Structure 1
Amino acid sequence: EAIRPVLVDWLGRRHGSLSFHVTQVLSGHGCFGKFLCRIGREPDARCHHCVHCEEDSAQHTLVECVAWDEQRRALKSKIGDDLSLPIVVQKMVSSAESWDAVVSFCENVMSQKEAAERDREITTFVPSRSRRTGRRRRAEIALFRPP
């Protein structure tokens, strides 16, 4: 949604490439309580990095979470104080320096959020989710089953 207003510029830019962590922040699909709760990996959407937040989202991580104040200061020094996703995307498209600043923020913060999630998984008993066998795999298994 944040890319749509600058899609032509986004596609025509001559700098920057997307990384896994940048994509997580732009899409909201990553180590965010809101997303993890939605897919059944967390019981609620709260932020594990600050005590006052009931819903950890990409926007919360980018703008509010006190755990990332230092990284946020560095980002703001490069792209300005408005960290709403549409403005961040606009800044990314406008210059390589802004793009690199956003990438640096995303890589730093998201790698720490992922490490914290792994630690929680290790220290908290969560029954493993069994994987369902897909239709193709079941058909393949059936071919090799003795009559």
Structure 2
Amino acid sequence: MVNDWVYVNIIWEERLAHPIAGHLTIEAIRPVLKQWLDRDHGPITFRVTQVLSGHGCFGRYLCNRLGREPTPICHECGAAEDTAQHTLAVCPAWTEQRATLVAVVGRDLSLPAVVKTMADSERSWKAVVSFCEDVISRKETAEREREEDPASQPMRRKRVGRRRLAYDRRLPP
């Protein structure tokens, strides 16, 4: 067991020492890496990964990385830029969910603080997962509705994943 941990630790440390992308996420996880890997609680979910990485239904990501949005604005509150951090800590649309989260993890919702508290306790882990699942699923639903809206901007592009392609093939001509 000890040798396994040493081997895993060496691999992770090497990969994290020279990242190509994900610098903010790596810097948040690196200080608690051993604790993160040794935890006995909580699988990481797809929506938690979106919040930790910033790759998800956030205006900045959809605009700048995927070209599926004409601007990086927050559709929920109108802020100039919608990011994972904006969604987690600032956007007034998620005040109720955030209040529940803050009651468990504390007021510091910076990425390093959230990652540390997730690694610290199962209760915190569950609170973060609950927030991410609720908020991101709502953002995904709103994104799909915008995709289907015929009045949406011409720049808006639909997802082109396997599910979308399979669905499109089943539609009548």
Q: Distance in 2 between matches of 1:125 and 1:3?
A: 38
* Corresponding residue number in structure 2 for 1:40: 67
**What stretches of structure 2 of length at least 5 have no aligned partner?**
1-25, 161-173
TM-score (norm 1): 0.84
Residue 105 (structure 1) aligned with residue 131 (structure 2): yes
CA displacement at 1:8 relative to structure 2? 1.0
1:18 aligns with one of 44, 48, 58: 44
Residues 108-133 of structure 1, C-alpha deviations (whole Å, 9 max, x = no match): 0000000000000111264757x7xx
Gaps of 5+ in 1: 132-147
Residue 122 of structure 2 is aligned to residue 122 of structure 1:
no
**Identity between Structure 1 and Structure 2 (%):** 58
Larger-Rg structure: 1
- Structure 1 stretches of 4+ with a deviation exceeding 4 A read 125-129
- Give 1:69's aligned residue: 95
Q: Give the letter aligned to residue 85 of structure 1.
A: L
RMSD over aligned CA atoms reads 1.7
After TM superposition, the score normalised by the length of structure 2 is: 0.72
Q: 2:62 and 2:153 mapped to 1: Cα distance?
A: 16
1:56 to 60, 82, 90: 82
Residue 24 of structure 1: how far off its partner (Å): 0.3
Q: In the aligned structure 2, how far is the partner of 1:116 from the partner of 1:126?
A: 17
Cα distance between partner residues in 1 of 2:85 and 2:42: 21
Aligned length: 130
Residues in 2 aligned to 1:108 and 1:126: alpha-carbon distance in whole angstroms = 29
Partner Cα separation in structure 1 for residue 153 and residue 99 of structure 2: 36
